[in-house]
Amino acid sequence: MPAHTELLDNYILFFEINLYFSENNLTEMNRIKEVLDEKGIKQTWLAEKLGKSYNMVNSYVQNRQQPRLEVLYEIAKILDVNPKELLKEELND
Protein backbone atom coordinates (compact mmCIF):
# COMPACT_ATOMS: atom_id res chain seq x y z
CA MET A 1 0.00 0.00 0.00
CA PRO A 2 1.46 3.39 -0.93
CA ALA A 3 2.43 5.58 2.02
CA HIS A 4 -0.02 8.34 1.07
CA THR A 5 -2.92 5.86 1.04
CA GLU A 6 -1.97 4.58 4.50
CA LEU A 7 -1.71 8.15 5.80
CA LEU A 8 -5.13 9.00 4.35
CA ASP A 9 -6.61 5.89 5.98
CA ASN A 10 -5.08 6.95 9.30
CA TYR A 11 -6.53 10.47 8.99
CA ILE A 12 -9.96 8.99 8.28
CA LEU A 13 -9.65 6.66 11.28
CA PHE A 14 -8.57 9.54 13.52
CA PHE A 15 -11.49 11.69 12.26
CA GLU A 16 -13.96 8.85 12.92
CA ILE A 17 -12.55 8.35 16.41
CA ASN A 18 -12.87 12.06 17.22
CA LEU A 19 -16.41 12.10 15.87
CA TYR A 20 -17.37 8.99 17.87
CA PHE A 21 -16.04 10.46 21.09
CA SER A 22 -17.64 13.86 20.60
CA GLU A 23 -21.03 12.37 19.70
CA ASN A 24 -20.97 10.08 22.73
CA ASN A 25 -19.61 12.69 25.14
CA LEU A 26 -16.60 10.52 25.90
CA THR A 27 -13.39 12.23 26.90
CA GLU A 28 -10.86 9.45 27.38
CA MET A 29 -9.62 8.71 23.92
CA ASN A 30 -5.98 7.81 24.37
CA ARG A 31 -4.04 5.59 26.72
CA ILE A 32 -0.75 7.47 26.70
CA LYS A 33 -0.76 7.53 30.51
CA GLU A 34 -1.12 3.76 30.71
CA VAL A 35 1.70 3.17 28.21
CA LEU A 36 3.98 5.58 30.07
CA ASP A 37 3.19 3.78 33.34
CA GLU A 38 3.77 0.36 31.76
CA LYS A 39 7.16 1.47 30.49
CA GLY A 40 8.10 3.41 33.64
CA ILE A 41 8.55 6.62 31.66
CA LYS A 42 7.92 10.09 33.06
CA GLN A 43 5.89 12.75 31.29
CA THR A 44 8.82 15.16 31.56
CA TRP A 45 10.99 12.75 29.55
CA LEU A 46 8.33 12.39 26.86
CA ALA A 47 7.87 16.16 26.72
CA GLU A 48 11.60 16.63 26.19
CA LYS A 49 11.75 13.97 23.44
CA LEU A 50 8.70 15.47 21.71
CA GLY A 51 9.98 19.02 22.00
CA LYS A 52 6.75 20.04 23.71
CA SER A 53 6.05 21.60 27.08
CA TYR A 54 5.27 19.45 30.09
CA ASN A 55 1.84 21.13 30.25
CA MET A 56 1.03 20.08 26.68
CA VAL A 57 2.09 16.46 27.28
CA ASN A 58 0.19 16.44 30.56
CA SER A 59 -2.95 17.58 28.73
CA TYR A 60 -2.55 14.60 26.36
CA VAL A 61 -1.92 12.20 29.26
CA GLN A 62 -4.94 13.48 31.20
CA ASN A 63 -7.11 13.36 28.04
CA ARG A 64 -7.92 17.06 28.32
CA GLN A 65 -6.61 17.48 24.78
CA GLN A 66 -5.86 14.97 22.03
CA PRO A 67 -2.63 15.11 20.05
CA ARG A 68 -2.76 15.67 16.31
CA LEU A 69 -2.29 12.48 14.32
CA GLU A 70 1.31 13.39 13.49
CA VAL A 71 2.06 13.90 17.19
CA LEU A 72 0.36 10.63 18.11
CA TYR A 73 2.63 8.84 15.63
CA GLU A 74 5.68 10.62 17.01
CA ILE A 75 4.72 9.59 20.56
CA ALA A 76 4.31 5.99 19.37
CA LYS A 77 7.73 6.10 17.72
CA ILE A 78 9.38 7.53 20.84
CA LEU A 79 7.68 4.93 23.06
CA ASP A 80 8.42 2.15 20.56
CA VAL A 81 4.80 1.03 20.28
CA ASN A 82 2.25 0.69 17.51
CA PRO A 83 0.16 3.89 17.32
CA LYS A 84 -2.99 1.79 17.85
CA GLU A 85 -1.63 0.85 21.30
CA LEU A 86 -2.07 4.50 22.28
CA LEU A 87 -5.81 4.39 21.61
CA LYS A 88 -8.44 3.10 23.99
CA GLU A 89 -9.27 -0.58 23.51
CA GLU A 90 -12.83 0.02 22.25
CA LEU A 91 -11.41 1.86 19.27
CA ASN A 92 -9.21 -1.01 18.12
CA ASP A 93 -12.10 -3.48 17.58
Q: Which CATH number does the domain housing residue 16 bear?
A: 1.10.260.40
- DSSP letter (8 states) at residue 69: H
**Which residues neighbour 86 within 8 Å (Cβ) at sequence distance 6 or greater?**
30, 31, 32, 35, 72, 75, 76, 79
Domain range for 55 is 3-92
Q: What is the pLDDT of residues 58-79, one digit of tens each?
A: 999 999 898 988 899 999 999 9
Tell if the pTM clears 0.85, that is, is over it: no
Strand partners, 87: 30
The residue-averaged pLDDT of 21-50 equals 85
The rounded distance, in Å, linking the Cα atoms of 19 and 87 is 14
- Total count of domains within the chain: 1
Name the pLDDT band for 92 (thresholds 50, 70, 90).
very low
The rounded distance, in Å, linking the Cα atoms of 13 and 24 is 16
